[in-house]
Amino acid sequence: MTGTHDAGTWEILRQVVIGARDLDKTGQQLREALNLAPGFADPLLEDIGLADETLAVGPQAFLEIVAPVDETGSLARWIRKGGGEGGYALSIQVSNIEPYLERAAAAGVRTVADLEAYGHRIVQLHPGDLGLLVELDEIPDADEWFWDQTEKEVSLDPRVDDILGVDVSSPDPAKTAALWAEVFGKKLDSAQSLSIALGSRAVSFVPGERSMLSAVDLAASIGANTVEPGLIVGGVEFRIHPG
């Protein structure tokens, strides 16, 4: 993934975020199922009423669990409205945020937040438009990410070592896919599948009653113990593929 980008704009799907009721319970379930080391917390999230744990999946991808600290915040309302936990957000690294914002505005996609965190510009796009919260993180160096300097525990035998892609469910997946393709400047080949590539990882659009991130595809580590199919944690299906 790194060192392969040209001078034009590019994007990398970096972080998958699950919205959970109970941070400790969901975090433990995910760590045990995937044999991942304990994660770390983003100190900025406490200020907006969220508890979190971020788990490293290989060297360049992360699974994050967020949970509301009380029942008044937006995440608590999202869980209640949707009828339970589920895939809440994606964090996507971009080289230059402006082209994405221009295309989003032209497509009628609303902006939820535009701020600076850890020295980088972050923009969040409205989940009511894209089916889930989409965060664009402007970090021009593809070899750099927020958590590079964060001290992290490492599992000696993780069952997975990369994120391959995600599914976004929607009552109208074709419409949602077309909107994402417009925002990210992609061509959508709906004759084959409703999917777009964000770096080496894919976002696929599938039918579902609830608009959310519904599944995550993971690469199995070499020699890892197998995990039973149909693994569901925090309302999200985790599918593990041979490495």
Q: Is the pLDDT of residue 2 over 50?
A: no
Query: Is it the case that residue 209 has pLDDT exceeding 90?
Result: yes
243 compared with 93, residue with greater pLDDT: 93
Mean pLDDT, the chain, as a whole number? 92
| Residue 160 CB-half CA count within 13 A | 25
Q: What is the pLDDT of residues 154-204, one digit of tens each?
A: 899 999 999 999 999 999 999 999 999 999 999 886 666 799 999 999 999
18, pLDDT greater than 60: yes
* 8: confidence class by pLDDT, cuts 50, 70, 90: confident
User: Could you give the C-alpha distances from 11 to 29, 49, 159, 197, 220, in angstroms and in order?
Assistant: 30, 28, 26, 9, 24
**pLDDT of 226 above 80:** no
Cβ–Cβ < 8 Å for 70, 49 = yes
Phi-psi region of 118 (alpha: psi -120 to 50; beta: other; left: phi over 0): left
The pLDDT, as a whole number, for residue 190 is 63
- Which helix or strand (DSSP H or E) is residue 203 part of? strand 201-207
| Sign of the torsion angle spanned by Cα atoms 23, 132, 228, 222 | negative
pLDDT, tens digit (0-9, with 9 covering 90-100), for 41-95: 998 888 888 999 999 999 999 999 999 998 888 899 999 999 999 999 999 999 9
pLDDT of residue 72: 84
| Of the candidates 79, 23, 22, the residue with the CA atom closest to the CA atom of residue 53 | 23
Q: Identify the band that residue 7 occupies on the pLDDT scale cut at 50, 70 and 90.
A: low
Show the DSSP H helices in the chain as ranges. Answer: 23-34, 74-82, 98-106, 127-130, 173-184
Please determine, for residue 99, whether its predicted confidence score (pLDDT) is greater than 80: yes
pLDDT at 189: 67
At residue 4, the pLDDT reads 41
Give me the mean pLDDT over the 207-222 stretch.
96
The pLDDT value recorded for residue 111 is 97
pLDDT of residue 15: 97
Angle in degrees, 0-180, between the axes of helices 98-106 and 173-184, rounded to the nearest 10? 140
